[in-house]
Amino acid sequence: MLQNLTLILLFSLIFIFSSGKFVSSCTYKAEGDNVVIRLGDEKLPQDSHLIWTHDKRRVYSKKGSNVKNEGLTINHYGSLILENIQKSKSGEYKAEVFDKDGKLIKKTVEKICVLEPVPEPSVTVECVEEGVYLTCIPVNSNEVSVSWTKNGEKSNTTHAVLHVSSSELKSGDKFSCTLSNMFSEKTAKDVQPVCSNTGVHANEDENRKKEENSNNENKDDDGTEKKLLFGLDFWWMLVILSGGASFLLILFIICLVCVCRCCSRSKRKAKEEAEFRLVSLMPDHANQPDEPYMQSSESQRPSKSQRPLPPLPSPRGPPAVEPQ
């Protein structure tokens, strides 16, 4: 039985180490770092075949002069260089080198875990009957550690939510949380939760400061309160409204002048058309004969009875011959 267990253990070790470099955990890097995954200190043979994979997906291949690359940088030793690494580049990187006969001669594996800088945290307060709940936000990664301080002293709580009972909470207590990872750390501003049985009053100092700042903003330099109109300074608002009213008045006058000109032009045109129609309907007296002239002409012309008779026509035929 013991021999069987020994053989199983031996074969397991041989299987683990025969494939190359054994990856036990991540190599943590911060976003923006330059990472070099070494393959060795010797140049690769010209006829060798180098393959790099990222999470089992081939991203680089070089066999002789035939190269297929997905934007990676490989040096003369076959090592991988990742510049300005981002979180999306996390994962397992594996390199394999084969000779011209296809035999594996070199191999390396490394898992890279890229961490983002921790964000700026803040503390929210929720008052309940049995005390208060303080929440450190945002905590969106398991690789971020949370720590709490009370009145500047570190607490043993490492969760994102801190519960403080009513008996432990005293007036003036200040709480803060800190987010950290392997490469960065940021601390939230202190809060002073004040809770009562009749209601919730949290961050009274901050609210009071906000009110004072808002009141100071509404005061002039001499301390007198500013007059506001629609949320803006009264005088500035008066200037804006006056300018707008002047612009509208000028625009109205321009429109009124244009309308009057159009109306007068239309009336003049209608009048001219009416006069033209009236002239066309009147008789043309210029072409009619003068009535007195006609009467005098008719009076000078003799009547038919007074006119002389026309001469008789001569008889036709040969002229008469007188006797000799």
pLDDT tens for 276-315 read 777 777 665 555 555 555 555 555 555 555 556 566 555 5
Query: DSSP H helical segments within the chain, as ranges?
Result: 2-18, 204-217, 234-281, 291-300
Amino acid identity of 95? A
How confident is the model over 144-171, as pLDDT tens digits?
Answer: 999 999 999 999 989 999 999 988 888 8
CATH topology of domain 20-115: Immunoglobulin-like (2.60.40)
Q: What is the DSSP letter of 305?
A: T
Two tokens, residue 166: 């009513």
Give percent of the chain with pLDDT exceeding 70: 68
Do 20-115 and 122-201 show the same overall fold?
yes
pLDDT of residue 5: 39
Cβ atoms 230, 238 nearer than 8 A: no
Instruction: State the pLDDT confidence band at 271, using cuts at 50, 70 and 90.
Output: confident
Q: Domain map of the chain by residue range?
A: 20-115, 122-201
Does residue 55 register a pLDDT over 90? yes
pLDDT of residue 89: 93
Q: Is the peptide bond before 193 cis (omega within 30 degrees of 0)?
A: no
Q: Please provide the size of the chain in residues.
A: 324
CATH topology of domain 122-201: Immunoglobulin-like (2.60.40)
Cβ atoms 139, 148 nearer than 8 A: no
How confident is the model over 179-233, as pLDDT tens digits?
Answer: 999 889 999 999 999 876 434 444 444 555 566 666 666 565 555 556 666 666 7
Q: What are phi and psi of 4, to 5 degrees?
A: -65, -45
* DSSP for 126-176, written as a single string: EEETTEEEEEEE----TT-EEEEEETTEEPS--SSEEEEETTT--TT--EE
- What is the Cα–Cα distance from 102 to 79, expressed in whole angstroms? 20
Instruction: Give whole-number Cα distances, 244 to 68, 191, 251, in Å.
Output: 67, 47, 11
pTM: 0.48
Two tokens, residue 86: 């981002």
Token pair 């066309």 is found at 280
